[in-house]
Amino acid sequence: MKRVIYRLLGMVLTLVVSSFIIFAAMYAAPGDPVTFLIGNPENITPERIAEVRAQYNLDQPLLVQYWLWASSAFTGDLGVSFQYHQGVGDLMATRLPATLALVALSSVFFIVAGIGLGILAALRQGRRTDSTVTAFTTLASSVPSFVIGLLLVSVFAVGLRWFPVSGAGDGFLDRIHHLILPALALAVGAVAIISRVTRQSMVEQLATDHVEAARSFGLSASKVVRRHVLRNSWGPILTMVALVVASMLAGTVVVESVFGISGVGKLLVDAINTHDFPVVQAVLLYMVVTYMVVTTMVDLVHPLLDPRIKARNKNS
Amino acid sequence: MTALQTPVPLPIASRKRKDLAYMASLWFLALLILVAAVAPWIAPYPPGAVDFSAIWQSPGAAHLLGTDQVGQDLLSRLILGTRESLLGPLALLALATVVGVTIGTVAAWNGGWVDLLLARITDVMFAFPGLLFVVLVIAVFGKGPGTTVVALALAYAPVIAKFTRSLALAEMAKSYVDAYRVQGVGGLMLCLRYIVPNLAPALLGYLVVLFGEGLMSLATLSFLGFGAQPPSSEWGLMVQEGQAGIIQGHIWPTLIPGAVIAAVVVAVNVVGVRISDRLNARFEE
Amino acid sequence: MLLDIENLSLSIQAKGHTNKILDSVSLAVAAGEVVGLVGESGSGKSTTARAVLRLHPEGAQVTGRIQVAGISVLPGTDRDLKRVRSSEAAMIHQDPRAAFNPVRRIGDSLTERLVQVLRADRGEAHAKGLALLEAVGIRQPDRRMRQYPHELSGGMLQRVMIAAALTSDPKLLLADEATSALDVTTQAEVLAILRDLQQERDLGVLFITHDLHLAAAYCDRVYVMYRGCLVEELAGTDLFIAARHEYTKKLLSAVPTITARPSTTEATA
């Protein structure tokens, strides 16, 4: 219990610091924060300056400003976009479904392929299949996701016309149809990570005495793998899966740009290009918060999978 | 039961294959450095040579790798872009190493608040997944190759610092450090002349792998339009510029620079893994 | 014969040269007989026992014949192998803490063979498990069934392992240094339990140990193994008296006794 509280406190502290960095970053920018916040020089008018000053409480000390920003962000008020003149919260709400669908579909791909290839490599350890899987996944993870994305577009969308070239689609089936290629592009790097963790974790388990003991009393190979090898490997595998899913939100920035999907990642890129700082801050905050919450959750849930860790925590 | 077995050493054939991959990677990288050095003299066309009568050409005799949307020779652009594409990651690593090794060594040597601060900074850095920290810096300081290199260096520095710290702690536990101290060698002198040089080999393997990652990150940022700006022919930017042609079926302008990026990253990883393996083997002995 | 090993040879290819692990090993264990297999670590004792259940490394080259209760394991079909593994023979491993899956409850591990391999009814398997835990002297067996391996002491786990080995009523036990990891008092307790059960069930036991005193006291017959070869076969009671082979003598002389100091220091052990 103590550990849970410490871990949560640690998370809150890190969140406060990182959100402060996100907020205070604009003060580090050369020049007056007002001109910076307004961004586009054409928009600089006395009214606009007054408006921004009031909105950002610029006459207050930095810490007070941060507090006002963070507390209103906490209640869902993330400010107003300079570019779209629309609440940042609403803006993100319209963009979020496409991004979440992309991450979800991509997660299905990389979990199935990554764990599957990892199991295959572990069971064929030291043989040709093993080195082929390792070589293939390492190679695939060395290709940047935007190159993979463009390759997929040119072959399957432009060449074979199986999939649309861009967009996120409407309705369930159409959305999946649109998102298959982007999800694949996003998943490729993750497959290498997950298959490596799966393989490593299973290879360690395969060498243990209890696995040999299970074989010694006649348990079939598939049951040995399911009930002993895989069962005991889940901890590291699931931890890594959760971390990869959480960091994928950041990966959507690239893939959404390649496939012209108007999701949160594309919103971030556009916001940077148009100096729409409230949007930049909000999107970064949302990605960092999600990532932090997921990593903390993983830390807290992990012991439940392994009674030994649970016991150790109880004792300490 | 064929599926389950105890570990066996790699068959000899596969080890030979690995040697081949290592040698091929080394030669490829050496060739690339040579190309970067003499790029302006070997590029068939001068930089910015536009030819609107020959746009989107497929590979052929006049243009070995074809041309892009304004008729620039792709091979020439590729060759001319070698310098920037390779110097970028190199510069970012150099900067990150200087900062990281300094902080890491000081943290290991002093302990105390420097060490605590390093731990907190890494915590906060790890809260930003992927390239988000770099994106934040770019949002504040504007786009451009300089900003991206510095931002990536800042993002990498804590990781290098953490790695250096753990290496330095192990090094400082060795008896020669005490021996020099007894002789009156100062802390700074000891760190600069003995400890850091002794860490260098282990650090090198790590840095090589980071180089591949850095190259990929820089290319990605350039692709997003945050890094290198036209008329540069940095490879990531080349991919982005070629993107428009894909819908019309012109795949070469994106495929070629993309493949080159991938090839360099693969080669660098192969070499990096080999160097780390060798160093580990030496440590185990 | 319950266990019959004839001319068992085993070698492993590593880095281009062949390592001969076992060289023409022939031994037999009758029902109701406790047969010791002694030798230094690395002499091939464990490999011999593992080969009986075909647990040797996949890449190994094995020749010879192994039969358990008349069923051929080597050469043998997968079906026969499964039958021997599940019902005829059971292995008791050296380190009980490593031999139990740490994330499964004792009850699961104990009844796994019955439920998952022999397809017994869960309730029956549970009842049998409880009875066997009592038979190996474990109090509160019901509670133990719900616990995890890390919550039990080493001695208790070793007793659970004996119980687990007996769930399918095998005729042959392969005890691979079954008590070496335990402290002296626990060792005595576990040995007594093993002895009682062996006599009660008329079990054949292949008892692997590096402890010559234990082998002499515990086994009806003892084989001495040296570098993958059996060099001598003796009655347990004769081990310290009638040994003829040079190696056995060396091994015996290296054993510290209370009455006499070891006479030589050249022993390899």
3-state secondary structure of B267: helix
More confident residue, A263 or A31: A263
Contact (CB<8Å) A144/B11: no
| B119 vs A: CB within 8 A | no
Both structure tokens of C229: 């070869």
Q: Are A244 and B122 in contact (CB under 8 A)?
A: no
b/e map A184-218, b = 16+ CB within 10 Å: bbbbbbbbbbbbbbbbbbbbebbebbbbbbbbbbb
Side-chain half-sphere of A71: how many Cα atoms within 13 Å? 7
Chain A residues touching residue C98 (CB < 8 angstroms): 208-210
Query: Which chain C residue has its CA at the smallest distance from B7's CA?
Result: C57
Q: In what order do the strands lie in the sheet with C229-235?
A: C89-92, C172-176, C204-209, C34-38, C221-226, C229-235
Chain B residues touching residue A211 (CB < 8 angstroms): 4
**Omega within 30 of 0 (cis) for the link into C149:** no
| C60 vs A: CB within 8 A | no
Of A143, A151, A292, the CB nearest to B127: A292
Contact (CB<8Å) B130/A206: no
Mean of pLDDT over chain A = 85
Interface test with B, best of C21, C47, C58, C73 (most B CBs within 10 A): C58
Contact (CB<8Å) B132/A28: no
Please name the chains neighbouring C, where neighbouring means 3+ C-beta pairs under 8 angstroms.
A, B
Tell me the pLDDT tens digit for each residue of A27-64.
777 766 677 666 666 777 788 777 777 777 777 788 88
Which residues 187-246 on chain C approach chain A with CB closer than 8 angstroms?
none
Query: Which chain C residue has its CA at the smallest distance from B4's CA?
Result: C58
Question: Which one, of B81, B129, B100, lies nearest residue B199 by Cα?
Answer: B100
Of A22, A144, A272, the CB nearest to B138: A272
Measure Cα distances from B215 to A20, A76, B29, B260, C92 in Å.
30, 38, 13, 11, 55
Question: Which one, of A108, A107, A77, lies nearest residue A249 by Cα?
Answer: A107
Which residues 57-116 on chain A approach chain B with CB closer than 8 angstroms?
none
Percent of all residues in chain B with a pLDDT value above 70, rounded to a whole number: 92
Which pLDDT belongs to residue A40?
Answer: 66
Please name the chains neighbouring A, where neighbouring means 3+ C-beta pairs under 8 angstroms.
B, C
Contact (CB<8Å) A14/B127: yes
Q: Are A237 and A197 in contact (CB under 8 A)?
A: yes
Contact (CB<8Å) B243/A30: no
A88-315 CATH fold? MetI-like fold (1.10.3720)
Is the pLDDT at B1 greater than 50, yes or no?
Answer: no
Query: Which chain B residue has its CA at the smallest distance from A140's CA?
Result: B262
Which pLDDT belongs to residue C259?
Answer: 53
CA distance linking residue C103 with residue C27, whole number of Å: 38
Mean of pLDDT over chain B = 83
CA distance linking residue A235 with residue B218, whole number of Å: 33
| C102 vs B: CB within 8 A | no
| B138 vs A: CB within 8 A | yes
Contact (CB<8Å) A307/C102: yes
Query: Which chain A residue has its CA at the smallest distance from B129's CA?
Result: A247
Tell me the pLDDT tens digit for each residue of B209-227.
889 899 999 999 999 989 8
Residue C210 makes CB contacts below 8 A (sequence gap 6+) with C38, C39, C40, C41, C177, C180
Helices (H), chain B: 12-42, 74-110, 112-126, 132-141, 145-172, 175-182, 187-190, 196-223, 235-246, 252-284
Contact (CB<8Å) B1/C54: yes
Chain C residues touching residue A203 (CB < 8 angstroms): none
- Poorest-confidence range of A92-101, A181-190, C228-237? C228-237
Which residues 243-272 on chain A approach chain B with CB closer than 8 angstroms?
246-247, 249-251, 253-254, 257-258, 268-269, 271-272
Question: Which one, of B280, B109, B275, lies nearest residue B192 by Cα?
Answer: B109
Write out residues in chain C with pLDDT < 50, as ranges. 260-269
Instruction: Name the pLDDT band for B12 (thresholds 50, 70, 90).
Output: very low
3-state secondary structure of B6: coil
Contact (CB<8Å) C150/A311: yes
Which residues 229-248 on chain A approach chain B with CB closer than 8 angstroms?
246-247
Chain B residues touching residue A269 (CB < 8 angstroms): 224-225
Instruction: Name the pLDDT band for B283 (thresholds 50, 70, 90).
Output: low
Of B124, B141, B225, the CB nearest to A21: B124
Both structure tokens of C11: 């070698």
Nearest-CA distance B175 → chain A (Å): 35
Q: Which amino acid is at C232?
A: E
Is the pLDDT at B14 greater than 60, yes or no?
Answer: no
- Poorest-confidence range of A58-72, A263-277, C108-122? A58-72
Nearest-CA distance C58 → chain B (Å): 5
Tell me the pLDDT tens digit for each residue of A97-137.
999 999 999 999 999 999 999 999 998 888 888 888 988 88
Of A212, A227, A308, the CB nearest to C102: A308
Tell me the pLDDT tens digit for each residue of B116-128.
888 888 888 888 8
Q: Are A178 and A97 in contact (CB under 8 A)?
A: no
Which pLDDT belongs to residue A39?
Answer: 64
Contact (CB<8Å) C100/A213: yes
Of C15, C57, C78, the CB nearest to B5: C57
Instruction: Name the pLDDT band for B17 (thresholds 50, 70, 90).
Output: low
CA distance linking residue B47 with residue A88, whole number of Å: 43
Query: Which chain C residue has its CA at the smallest distance from A315's CA?
Result: C151
Written as one string, the DSSP assignment of chain C is --EEEEEEEEEEEETTEEEEEEEEEEEEE-TT-EEEEE--TTSSHHHHHHHHTT-S-TT-EEEEEEEETTEEEES--HHHHHHIIIIIEEEE-S-HHHHS-TTS-HHHHHHHIIIIIS---HHHHHHHHHHHHHHTT-SSHHHHHHS-GGGS-HHHHHHHHHHHHHTT--SEEEEESTTTTS-HHHHHHHHHHHHHHHHHHT-EEEEEES-HHHHHHH-SEEEEEETTEEEEEEEGGGHHHH--SHHHHHHHHTS--SSS--S-S----
CA distance linking residue C171 with residue C166, whole number of Å: 9
Count contacts between A and C (CB, < 8 Å): 74
Which residues 204-233 on chain B approach chain A with CB closer than 8 angstroms?
212, 216, 219-220, 223-226
Contact (CB<8Å) B129/A287: yes
Written as one string, the DSSP assignment of B38-92 is HHHHH-SS-TT---GGGTTPPS-SSSTT-B-TT--BHHHHHHHHHHHHHHHHHHH
Chain A residues touching residue B235 (CB < 8 angstroms): none
Mean pLDDT of B265-281: 82
Contact (CB<8Å) B258/A29: no
Chain B residues touching residue C54 (CB < 8 angstroms): 1
Which pLDDT belongs to residue A268?
Answer: 92
Which pLDDT belongs to residue C241?
Answer: 76
Tell me the pLDDT tens digit for each residue of B145-177.
999 999 999 999 988 998 899 888 888 888 888
Of B2, B9, B12, the CB nearest to C58: B2
Instruction: Give the homologous superfamily in CATH for domain C3-99+171-268.
Output: P-loop containing nucleotide triphosphate hydrolases (3.40.50.300)
Chain B residues touching residue C81 (CB < 8 angstroms): 1
3-state secondary structure of A87: strand
Which pLDDT belongs to residue A308?
Answer: 67
Which pLDDT belongs to residue A241?
Answer: 92
Of C82, C90, C98, the CB nearest to A210: C98
Chain C residues touching residue B9 (CB < 8 angstroms): 14-15
Chain B residues touching residue A292 (CB < 8 angstroms): 127
CA distance linking residue A186 with residue A249, whole number of Å: 10
Which pLDDT belongs to residue C267?
Answer: 41
Question: Which one, of C34, C70, C45, lies nearest residue C173 by Cα?
Answer: C34
Nearest-CA distance C196 → chain A (Å): 23
Query: Which chain C residue has its CA at the smallest distance from A124's CA?
Result: C58
Of B1, B7, B120, the CB nearest to A207: B7
Tell me the pLDDT tens digit for each residue of C90-126.
999 888 888 898 888 998 888 888 888 888 888 889 9
Domains of chain A, by residue range, sit at 2-74, 88-315
